[in-house]
């Protein structure tokens, strides 16, 4: 079950979390922000913290929303880190890099589920976040969509 926050700012979102979840989300957020290439914007969307390509850079999207690159959320039973740059051709390599650290990976398509920041190899997460400039990510998305 997805828990959707109604918070309109990242600070309000963090404030509404229980202390242990706030600490974990804040730690992962710090890694994302430290490694996020220039041009992505942090905002609240879909009840989670998102890092997206602004519409002014991506142009029109299928849903009229900025193109999501990374998202971070507290769900009912776990925390989630969505890494859209991993989706597709990077997934197997990312899985191998993550698992080589000895940590257990709980991952859906682009969603890494965790309970505390220590569950994640934060250096691997940081490298993954840093991997795609806005232009590189836009090219990857366009190629995946056949255009």
What are the domain boundaries of the chain?
A: 10-142
Provide the mean pLDDT of the chain. 92
Alpha-carbon distances, residue 21 vs 10, 16, 92, 96, 137 (angstroms): 14, 10, 28, 27, 29
At 7 the pLDDT is: 86
At 89 the pLDDT is: 81
At 76 the pLDDT is: 83
At 1 the pLDDT is: 38
Question: What's the rounded mean pLDDT across residues 59-79?
Answer: 91
At 2 the pLDDT is: 46
Pick among 3.90.1150.200, 3.40.50.2300, 3.40.1390.20, 3.30.200.190: CATH of 10-142: 3.90.1150.200
Assess contact for 83 and 128: CB atoms under 8 A: yes
Q: Considering the chain, what percentage of its residues have pLDDT values greater than 90? A: 77
Question: What's the rounded mean pLDDT across residues 128-140?
Answer: 95
Render pLDDT for 20-64 as a digit per residue (tens, 0 to 9): 999 999 999 999 999 999 999 999 998 999 999 999 999 888 888
From CA 101, how far away is CA 97, in angstroms rounded? 7
Question: What's the rounded mean pLDDT across residues 104-108?
Answer: 94
pLDDT over threshold 90, residue 70: yes
How much of the chain is in helix, strand and coil states, percent to nearest 5? 40, 20, 40
At 3 the pLDDT is: 58
Q: Which long-range contacts (CB under 8 A, 24 or more apart) does 116-122 make?
A: 116/20, 116/24, 116/79, 117/23, 117/24, 117/27, 117/28, 120/28, 120/81, 121/97, 122/27, 122/28, 122/31
């Amino acid at each position: 079950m997805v828990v959707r926050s109604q918070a309109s700012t990242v600070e309000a979102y963090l404030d509404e979390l229980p202390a242990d979840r706030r600490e974990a989300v804040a730690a992962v957020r710090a890694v994302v922000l430290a490694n996020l290439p220039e041009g992505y914007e942090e905002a609240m969307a879909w009840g989670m913290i998102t890092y997206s390509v602004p519409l002014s850079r991506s142009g029109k999207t299928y849903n009229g929303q900025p193109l999501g690159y990374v998202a971070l959320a507290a769900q009912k039973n776990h925390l989630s880190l969505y890494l859209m740059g991993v989706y597709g051709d990077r997934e197997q390599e990312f899985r191998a890099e993550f698992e080589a650290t000895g940590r257990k990976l709980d991952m859906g398509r682009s969603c890494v589920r965790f309970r505390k920041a220590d569950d994640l190899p934060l250096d691997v997460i940081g490298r993954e976040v840093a991997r795609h400039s806005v232009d590189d990510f836009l090219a990857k998305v366009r190629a995946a969509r056949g255009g």
